[in-house]
């Protein structure tokens, strides 16, 4: 039997992507397609007094112009995570109000993209302008509501008493900047109506079945009348799970015009209109006895939402998970700014949350003169302290020990500023990583064909993470076929519901369903192997033997808490004269349950670390205090790492299959890699320079 699971199968979609034959949303060719270009607000707070589109309408090639005065009709969807969801509760063009700079206030439709764009700039808008609030310091905070069914506040024990009994106390505030998801593939929608009651949408969607339900509700249709097509996504990071206003407006305008319509956002528009990670300010208070046992942990978080929806960057989610303390207090506050709506971005909450907690743990380790690895081992928690449940298959300690071993941590000089190389200061740092083990219901169909191939079909999709390869490898092993003999179709709402490509869920959702469908198809064929089934198939002259199977979470979540774990170890070099920092060495060790594909899993960790290096050192979106617009406007002004910024990243996996979680024992790996990265770097900078930096990104000015 060929062993595929756990090996490093090459990307199933690799060739298509390298050859340019993978079709992204904006690339679908539809006859008769017309082009829309968004008109966006140039103020951040106020009202449209008048909008004159006369010149726009007269411009060459223009077919129609939509504003709030002639907004195409849409219905209000339920906007609930369980059924249908839109990113911004306010529907596009619903009134004359402007809540943030860059908000959509119109759509020009023309025969070509260039003519639509040209015409859009001829609009004349008069505003009644109010001073926007884009500065965090001017904001008013309220307690954050529960999000996706989870409370963000929590208290156990008596925090004040816990601090009073402590020998060592740490209190510090840590900041993170506003970050943009900035996927390579721009946001784009093609809406194609067949008559006025049947809609096909080509849109990068991490959740085609959810998006199908949402568009159906928006247009008062049964779900079967809407098809979402997303075979490939060019990155998403949380910004492509639900429809944004531009997609809704595109579909509504296309229906009214009776023409297929495409709307592609510019990078400039994406900075304001397609989500971001809110900046945060987090205060951590730790108390510990002289031997390093934590007596109290407090985590207070401030983040920001838009005037038109509520989204909290849920940083306190990690705090009851990481370290045990008899006294624990968590608090999240939210304020409204005149900026677009923030949203999920790779490890939402976990990434900035771990920045603060793992920096504070390092500060405590220095204060107590305890090795930071030892401090973490000492305070590891066996249970999820908010849920009161034990963790299943937890191997955090192995991550720390193996990481320390592979990095050579024990040789670390114990004092800051004690290591130099080529005239530069060298520092070593470490931090933990974590992300919850999540999974959803998924259905997969397998068809065995007379030509000796198997066809795997599911609506679940691959946002660049490796899902095509993971499901193909799983099916290959289960059927006893080579990976080349497995054909995979994903990302179309006509296919069986495969769940959401988000929350690092796709592998844990799909793999058990793939295994089950493979067993089922062999049973249907009354064969032990696919080869045997192919013989039966040919003899019977049947076109195919097929089976569909589902897998879903059961009651295990009532007994166990599921969580993935990791540890990062890194080296930095700092040239204090010019403030230049290089990350020179990296080791990450992860416990993600069973590893299905060693290559794509390691690649996800590397991608997470690279994005974490961006979070730590570069990524930042400022808003102009006068006009409220993001001052970054493309992938050159919004800095993130390029190849030259990244060292070799060594990745190892430890642990065991988490069989309480699902029959495949697999937890996801898409997001955990980024968590803890920025803290590991800041901790290494402290070791190198003796300077504690608590404000991200760590740009050269902070190192001088
Ligand atoms: Mo992820 S932030 O759930 O795409």
Q: What is the CATH number of the domain that holds 540?
A: 3.30.365.10
Distance CA 609, CA 670 (A): 11
Distance CA 607, CA 610 (A): 5
Of 703, 696, 693, residue with least CA distance to 172:
693
d(CA 237, ligand 1 centre) in Å: 5
Q: Are residues 253 and 175 in the same domain?
A: no
Distance CA 644, CA 646 (A): 6
Does 136 map to a domain?
A: no
Q: Are residues 480 and 390 in the same domain?
A: no
Does 9 map to a domain?
A: no
Q: Are residues 107 and 203 in the same domain?
A: yes
Return the residue matching tokens 């690649």: 603
- Per-residue confidence band for 702, with pLDDT thresholds at 50, 70 and 90: very high
Q: Are residues 373 and 306 in the same domain?
A: yes
Distance CA 577, CA 295 (A): 41
Q: Which of 147, 233, 234, 237 to mutate to test the pocket of ligand 1 (most atoms within 8 A of CB)?
A: 237
Q: Are residues 568 and 688 in the same domain?
A: yes
d(CA 647, ligand 1 centre) in Å: 25
Residue 304: per-residue pLDDT: 98
Q: Residue 674 corresponds to which tokens in the numbers above? A: 């980024």
CB 100 within 8 A of CB 272: yes
The verdict on the CB of residue 436 being under 6 Å from ligand 1 is no
Does 1 map to a domain?
A: no
Of 316, 236, 237, residue with least CA distance to 674:
237
Distance CA 230, CA 463 (A): 9
Q: Which atom of ligand 1 is nearest to the CA of 345?
A: 2
| 562: pLDDT strictly greater than 90 | yes
Q: Are residues 261 and 398 in the same domain?
A: no
d(CA 347, ligand 1 centre) in Å: 7
Q: Are residues 169 and 300 in the same domain?
A: yes
Q: Are residues 79 and 113 in the same domain?
A: yes
| Active-site entry in 179, 203, 358, 671 | 671
| 2: pLDDT strictly greater than 80 | no
Residue 134: per-residue pLDDT: 93
Q: 90: domain CATH number?
A: 3.90.1170.50
217 is catalytic: no
Residue 255: per-residue pLDDT: 98
Q: Are residues 221 and 93 in the same domain?
A: yes
Q: How far is CA 685 from the centre of its chain?
A: 27
For the chain, the domain total comes to 3
- The 10 Å CB-count burial string (b at 16+, else e) for 15-49 is eeeeeeebebbbebeeeeebbbbbbbbbbbbbebe
Does 8 map to a domain?
A: no
d(CA 435, ligand 1 centre) in Å: 11
Q: Residue 347 corresponds to which tokens in the numbers above? A: 């490890």
Range of the domain at 165: 141-179+276-437+559-702
Give 529: exposed, middle or buried? Use CB within 10 Å, 0-12, 13-18, 19+.
middle
CB 148 within 8 A of CB 81: yes
Q: Which of 493, 525, 552 is the last residue of a domain?
A: 552
Q: How many CA atoms lie within 13 A of 424 on its CB side?
A: 18
- The predicted-structure confidence for 572-600, as pLDDT tens digits, reads as follows 999 999 999 999 999 999 999 999 999 99
Distance CA 491, CA 208 (A): 7
Q: Which of 180, 182, 235, 241 to mutate to test the pocket of ligand 1 (most atoms within 8 A of CB)?
A: 241
Residue 36: per-residue pLDDT: 98
| 1: pLDDT strictly greater than 90 | no
Residue 287: per-residue pLDDT: 98
The residues pairing with 126 across neighbouring beta strands, listed in sequence order, are 50
Q: Residue 649 corresponds to which tokens in the numbers above? A: 């990243």
The CB density around residue 221, as the number of other CB atoms within 10 Å, is 17
The residue count of the chain comes to 704
Q: Whose CA is nearest to atom 4 of ligand 1?
A: 238
**Tally: H helices and E strands in the chain:** 16, 27
Q: Are residues 603 and 520 in the same domain?
A: no
Considering the chain, what percentage of its residues have pLDDT values greater than 70? 100
Distance CA 693, CA 682 (A): 6
Strand, coil or helix: 251: helix
- The predicted-structure confidence for 508-519, as pLDDT tens digits, reads as follows 999 999 999 999
CB 537 within 8 A of CB 507: no
Residue 80: per-residue pLDDT: 87
Distance CA 546, CA 603 (A): 33
Residue 604: per-residue pLDDT: 98
| 103: pLDDT strictly greater than 80 | yes
The verdict on the CB of residue 344 being under 6 Å from ligand 1 is yes
Residue 472: per-residue pLDDT: 98
- The predicted-structure confidence for 475-521, as pLDDT tens digits, reads as follows 999 999 999 999 999 999 999 999 999 999 999 999 999 999 999 99
Q: Which atom of ligand 1 is nearest to the CA of 206?
A: 4
Of 351, 317, 90, 330, residue with least CA distance to 237:
351
Residue 83: per-residue pLDDT: 84
Q: Which of 221, 252, 273 is the last residue of a domain?
A: 273
Q: How many CA atoms lie within 13 A of 367 on its CB side?
A: 19
Q: Which atom of ligand 1 is nearest to the CA of 505?
A: 3
Q: Are residues 159 and 280 in the same domain?
A: yes
Q: Which of 505, 669, 671, 672 to mutate to test the pocket of ligand 1 (most atoms within 8 A of CB)?
A: 671
The CB density around residue 575, as the number of other CB atoms within 10 Å, is 16
- The predicted-structure confidence for 360-406, as pLDDT tens digits, reads as follows 999 999 999 999 999 999 999 999 999 999 999 999 999 999 999 99
Distance CA 562, CA 225 (A): 37
Q: Residue 93 corresponds to which tokens in the numbers above? A: 């063009």
């Amino acid at each position: 039997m060929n062993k595929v699971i756990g090996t490093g199968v090459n990307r199933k979609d690799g060739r298509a992507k390298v050859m340019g034959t993978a079709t992204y949303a904006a690339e679908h060719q539809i006859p008769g397609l017309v082009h829309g270009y968004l008109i966006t607000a140039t103020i951040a707070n106020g009202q449209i007094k008048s909008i004159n589109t006369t010149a726009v309408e007269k411009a060459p090639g223009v077919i129609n112009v939509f504003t709030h005065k002639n907004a195409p009709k849409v219905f209000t969807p339920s906007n609930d995570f369980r059924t249908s969801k839109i990113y911004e509760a306010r529907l596009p063009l619903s009134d004359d109000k402007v809540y943030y700079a860059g908000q959509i206030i119109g759509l020009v439709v023309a025969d070509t993209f260039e003519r639509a764009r040209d015409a859009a700039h001829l609009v004349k808008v008069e505003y009644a302008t109010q001073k926007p609030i884009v500065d965090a310091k001017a904001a008013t905070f309220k307690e954050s509501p529960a999000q996706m069914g989870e409370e963000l506040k929590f208290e156990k024990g008596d925090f004040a008493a816990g601090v009073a009994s402590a020998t060592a106390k740490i209190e510090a505030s840590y900041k993170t900047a506003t970050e943009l998801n900035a996927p390579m593939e721009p946001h784009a929608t093609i809406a194609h109506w067949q008559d006025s009651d049947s809609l096909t949408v080509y849109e990068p969607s991490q959740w085609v079945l959810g998006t199908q339900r949402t568009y159906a509700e928006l247009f008062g249709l049964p779900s079967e009348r809407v098809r979402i097509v997303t075979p490939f996504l060019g990155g998403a990071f949380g910004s492509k799970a639900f429809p944004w206003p531009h997609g809704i407006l595109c579909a509504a305008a296309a229906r009214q015009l009776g023409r297929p319509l495409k709307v592609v956002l510019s990078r400039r528009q994406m900075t304001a209109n397609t989500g971001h990670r809110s900046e945060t300010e987090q205060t951590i208070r730790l108390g510990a006895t002289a031997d390093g046992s934590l007596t109290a942990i407090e985590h207070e978080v401030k983040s920001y939402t838009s005037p038109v929806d509520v989204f909290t960057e849920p940083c306190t989610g990690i705090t009851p998970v990481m370290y045990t303390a008899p006294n624990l207090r968590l608090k999240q506050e939210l304020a409204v700014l005149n900026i677009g709506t923030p949203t999920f971005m790779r490890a939402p909450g976990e990434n900035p949350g771990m920045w603060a907690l793992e920096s504070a743990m390092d500060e405590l380790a220095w204060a107590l003169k305890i090795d930071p690895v030892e401090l973490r081992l000492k305070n590891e928690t066996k249970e999820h302290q908010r849920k009161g449940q034990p963790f299943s298959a937890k191997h955090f300690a192995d991550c720390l020990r193996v990481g320390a071993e592979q990095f050579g941590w024990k040789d670390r000089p114990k004092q800051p500023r004690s290591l130099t190389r080529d005239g530069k200061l060298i520092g070593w740092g470490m931090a933990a990583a974590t992300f919850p083990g999540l999974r959803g219901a998924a259905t997969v169909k397998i068809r065995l064909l007379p030509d000796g191939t198997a066809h795997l079909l599911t609506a679940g999709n691959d946002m660049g993470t490796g899902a095509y390869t993971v499901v193909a490898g799983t099916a290959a092993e289960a059927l006893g076929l080579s990976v080349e003999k497995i054909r995979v179709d994903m990302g179309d709402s006509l296919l069986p519901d495969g769940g959401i490509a988000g929350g690092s869920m796709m592998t844990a959702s799909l793999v058990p369903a793939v295994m089950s469908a493979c067993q089922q198809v062999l049973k249907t064929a009354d064969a032990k192997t696919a080869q045997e089934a192919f013989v039966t198939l040919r003899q019977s002259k049947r076109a195919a033997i097929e089976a569909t199977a589902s897998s879903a979470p059961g009651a295990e979540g009532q007994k166990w808490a599921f969580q993935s774990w990791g540890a990062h170890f890194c080296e930095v070099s700092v040239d204090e004269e010019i403030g230049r920092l290089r990350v020179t060495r990296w080791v990450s060790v992860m416990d993600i349950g069973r590893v299905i594909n060693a290559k794509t899993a390691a690649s996800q960790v590397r991608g997470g670390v690279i994005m974490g290096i961006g979070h730590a050192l570069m990524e930042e979106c400022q808003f102009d205090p006068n006009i409220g617009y993001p001052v970054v406007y493309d992938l050159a002004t919004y800095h993130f790492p390029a190849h030259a910024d990244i060292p070799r990243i060594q990745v190892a996996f430890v642990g065991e299959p988490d069989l309480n979680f699902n029959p495949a024992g697999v937890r996801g790996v898409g997001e955990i890699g980024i968590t803890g990265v920025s803290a590991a770097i800041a901790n290494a900078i402290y070791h190198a320079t003796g300077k504690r930096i608590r404000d991200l990104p760590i740009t050269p000015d902070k190192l001088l």
